[in-house]
Amino acid sequence: MNVLDLIGNTPLVELKKTSSELEGVSIWAKAEFRNLSGSVKDRAAKAMLTEGIEKGLLRPGKTIIDSSSGNTGIAYAVLGAVLGYPVRIYLPANASRERKTILACCGAAVVETSPLESSDGAYLAAKAEANAHPEKYFWPNQYNNDVNWKAHYHSTGVEIWEQTAGKVTHFITGMGTSGTFMGTARRLKEYNPKIQAVAVQPDSPFHGIEGTKHMASTIKPGFYDETFPDRFAEVNTEAAYARTIRLAREEGLFVGISSGANVQAALDLGRTLPPGSLVVTMLCDSGFRYLSDGFWGLTND
């Protein structure tokens, strides 16, 4: 097996204790932390780098450059190590310490940008550097590269359909680049137009749900279509934190904050649905990337 084959085909697990709060509705989640570098972003990163190599845009002597809130950067770093390319990542300075450490351990050069400018500032800084030195860099440009959402169209959506034997009725997940949502939901709706696609967002521009965008207050990804979701769901930071802790302590799933937000939104949605509904969401990454965050209630003693 090639190490790149460790990307995709992740398990779909039923959240039994979470679903027990509902009347005849089940919530299932894709365990994306099982991917090679540990997050859902492996899928798009692999697809974008592969296309770059096939088109001759990514070749020996070039450095992979992009902005990230953490997970895509880690995916680039791991894949860069596998494929033999250096990696340079622009990252908001307030990204978790663990994400920065993983990037450094995998050999990526990290450029920290203003936390006040969030992912937008990192994106603009990476764009400026890539455009200033096109001979030096390969810029996948994850926010505006259609290969991003197509990776999920060709993999995640197919997997969910097959793993639920076509019984999925609702797909709900948060958005960073929106690639996971747009690609997966498009594929699922081709299988069955009745499947509802629900986009999750923080309830405020000022939030602590890493990797998730409040679309109304940020630079929108080029392939994001705000008319596509059947509905939107909002989650506040405190509810996302609380659900993340409960997933670890009740379901045995030690996942990150965006996963907690996704599951909380799925649960809120489930309370409005008729019996027999099957809701699928995403567990985007592992909780190990957020150990230093204070919401766990841990101390350093």
Tell me the pLDDT tens digit for each residue of 115-152: 988 889 999 999 999 999 999 999 999 999 999 999 99
Fold match flag (3-34+156-296 vs 41-138):
yes
109 with 87: CB under 8 angstroms? yes
In tens, the pLDDT along 68-84 reads: 988 999 999 999 999 99
- E strands along the chain, which residues? 12-14, 26-31, 63-67, 87-92, 109-113, 137-138, 170-174, 196-202, 231-235, 278-283
Domain 3-34+156-296 coded CATH 3.40.50.1100 = yes
257 with 265: CB under 8 angstroms? no
Q: What is the mean pLDDT of residues 168-180?
A: 97
pLDDT value, residue 116 = 87
Extents of the domains making up the chain = 3-34+156-296, 41-138
Q: 0.85 cut: is pTM over it?
A: yes
Q: How far is CA 87 from CA 58, 61, 77, 79, 127, in A?
A: 12, 11, 6, 9, 15
pLDDT band at 301 (very low <50, low <70, confident <90, very high): very low
- Return the structure tokens found at 37: 């570098």
pLDDT value, residue 196 = 98
Q: Would you please indicate which residues are annotated as catalytic (active-site) residues?
A: 41, 258
Number of other CB atoms surrounding residue 130 within 10 Å: 21
Q: What is the mean pLDDT of residues 154-161?
A: 98
In tens, the pLDDT along 197-226 reads: 999 999 988 888 888 889 988 899 999 999
**Residue type, position 260, single letter:** G
Q: What would the CATH number be for the domain defined by 41-138?
A: 3.40.50.1100
Torsion angles phi and psi, residue 89, rounded to 5: -120, 130
pLDDT value, residue 298 = 65
